[in-house]
Amino acid sequence: MVRLISLLVGAGFVFVLALALFFTAKDAIQNPAPHTAEHAFHQHPENIHLSSAGFFGKFDREQVQRGFQVYKEVCAACHSLKYVAFRDLQKIGYSEAEVKAIANQWVIEQPSVNPETGEVATRKNLPSDHFPSPFANEVAARAANNNALPPDLSLMTKAREDGSNYVHALLMGYRDQPAELLREFPDAKTPDGLHYNPYFANLNIAMPPPITSDGQVTYTDGTKATKDQMARDVAAFLTWTAEPNLEARHAAGVAAIIFLLIFVYLTWGAYQNVWRNVKH
């Protein structure tokens, strides 16, 4: 009796799933998704082949340092990096003295309170501090950016699909709207105050092009700062901020696979040894 009930319950469950699948497919056929400008003209980023990509990927520390320089001189005016501390920069090759100097010289200081008067004040950054926000609060951020809120960049490459490639493509993707788009979708003209970018989800982004010309940043290592190079470098830096332990994770994965291979070999050897005298 119990077995019969179990079979009936299982059959009912399968029937409900099949019914749901049928009606979902029917609705998709009868009411297909509308053809929109976003679907027709949105582009997917190309692979920029960062050294950190792939199973054995490792950070190119010189490139990550250049990316930090781009963030510092271009992006930091609008975008925060609240999950990264100044002292974390030692992981990409900066010395302790250099980190102290970067923190001390950072344009935005830490909010503080005067212990004697209770008045709001500021103080110099310490290596243990996280990167401060360029704005006092969300209202100030929106007021300075045409009511758009600049997102924090700490985890951006993990928050977006194909994140590293997306960052590079977005920075390089600003252009005029194609005439074909306006012919096919006359109502899709980019509104005033926004900028056309086919790599952004709805094609129109509030952020003006941050990287506007070659040589916008002068790299300390002498690398030629083309627009493409700067976009690649800051993408590498934001890949590191989103996953600073990537190399350790890759190393642990390799070690785990090697261990499993050795374990399988020893298990096979033990099996052969135990059953070697047993005739089949």
Nearest to 157 by CA among 176, 170, 140: 170
**What is d(CA 176, CA 262) in angstroms, rounded to the nearest whole number?**
57
Q: Enter the tokens of residue 33.
A: 């998704």
CA angle 64, 68, 74 (to 5 degrees): 135
* 172 carries a ligand binding annotation: no
Exposure string over 30-55, b if 16+ CB within 10 A, otherwise e: eeeeeeebeeebeeebeebebebeee
Q: One-letter amino acid identity for 168?
A: H
What separation in angstroms does the CA of 151 have from each of 109, 120, 174, 226?
A: 20, 26, 18, 25
- β-strands 120-123, 195-196 pairing: unpaired
Find out whether 79 is annotated in a ligand binding site: yes
75 is in an annotated binding site: yes
Handedness of CA 69, 75, 80, 81 (dihedral sign): negative
Cβ contact 235:48 at 8 Å: yes
Residue 280 assigned to a binding site: no
* DSSP codes of every residue in 110-149: EEEE-TTT--EEEE---TTSBPPPSSSSHHHHHHTTTT--
176 closest CA partner among 213, 203, 158? 203
Annotated binding site: 75, 78-79, 207
Annotated binding site for heme c: 75, 78-79, 207
